[in-house]
A and B are shown apart, each in its own frame.
Chain A
């Protein structure tokens, strides 16, 4: 295999697509030509560097996407803050709302019981002695 032929196989080599006699001929060409070896080294290194550049942090664009969809749909989508929350926050809001509702119901029940006691004299005087006087 000539150096030019080997150069045409750089991609196949890094993808692991060379096998058997072709792989051996490629390696022999690299062994015989230091410039080819250097170029192949740069090829492998370049690929490694490019792959590594993709690992940095990406911005969170969800809020911007939601806003854009809200505006472009004429307000049809993402109408309120609840629809823009993460599932975790939605769950928290629902649980809090249920607790507040439960509290209101309990408070209402207590107040109702007390007011019933206050206005119904039979509750305090079941024998009706007050009325008899």
Chain B
């Protein structure tokens, strides 16, 4: 995750609220932040809104970034806090649409024109993403950071503030819960 964006001169530009530097930061990280948000809230419109909030929070808090961690890890930390708060808010609001995964893959299972293998793959993907929403937000976040974003344990520790042992055990529980559901679904659909 190291890049030119970790250059001290770039960080100085960010801290001076240089708009061009911030544009570059958003362009570089928007895909990663959006993916995390989408996996956390399960809805594309909500994820886009959430990703914006993450960058606004980054813009506001950039002066507090001391450079102990990589800039990317720090952004994941902000994304983690913002998304966890939103997930809690959505749960409190009891949004009727929550849990309905509206990523393209969720609709792909209806694609009658797709070959059987591809359709099975899309169904498995949709099932997995639905099941992901069933995990508690901490487990979901750790799972996404590790298995989707490929962050190291150290980076996840920095992003979440949890001890490495806790990260490992929660990751294992999350995988067992999630991937077991995928296995059950496969057995169910093939029998």
Contacts and interface: CB of A to CB of B under 8 A. Distances in A.
Interface string A49-72: 111111010111110111011001
B152 to A, nearest CB: 11
Given A61-B52, A87-B20, A90-B20, A49 B125 contact: yes
A11 to B, nearest CB: 4
Contacts of A68: 52, 56
A86 B180 CA distance: 45
Contact of B182 (A49, A69, A83, A87): A49
Contacts of B24: 87
A53 B20 contact: no
Contacts of B141: none
A46 interface: yes
A56 B56 CA distance: 24
B149 interface: yes
Given A11-B175, A65-B52, 13 more contacts: A10-B172, A38-B187, A39-B180, A42-B186, A43-B183, A46-B179, A47-B147, A54-B35, A58-B34, A61-B26, A64-B52, A68-B52, A90-B20
A69 B59 contact: yes
Contacts of B78: none
Interface of A: 7-8, 10-12, 14, 38-39, 41-43, 45-47, 49-54, 56, 58-62, 64-66, 68-69, 72, 77-78, 83-84, 86-87, 90
Contacts of A41: 183
10 contacts: A38-B183, A42-B180, A43-B176, A46-B175, A47-B175, A54-B35, A54-B39, A54-B149, A56-B104, A66-B19
Contacts of B107: none
- Chain B: interface secondary structure? helix
Contacts of B98: none
A51 B183 contact: no
Interface residues of B, number: 44
Interface string B143-157: 100011110000000
B147 to A, nearest CB: 5
Contacts of A84: 19, 23
B175 A10 contact: yes
A12 B103 CA distance: 30
Given A61-B48, A72-B56, A53 B125 contact: yes
Nearest to B178: A46
A83 to B, nearest CB: 5
Contacts of A90: 20
A7 B172 CA distance: 10
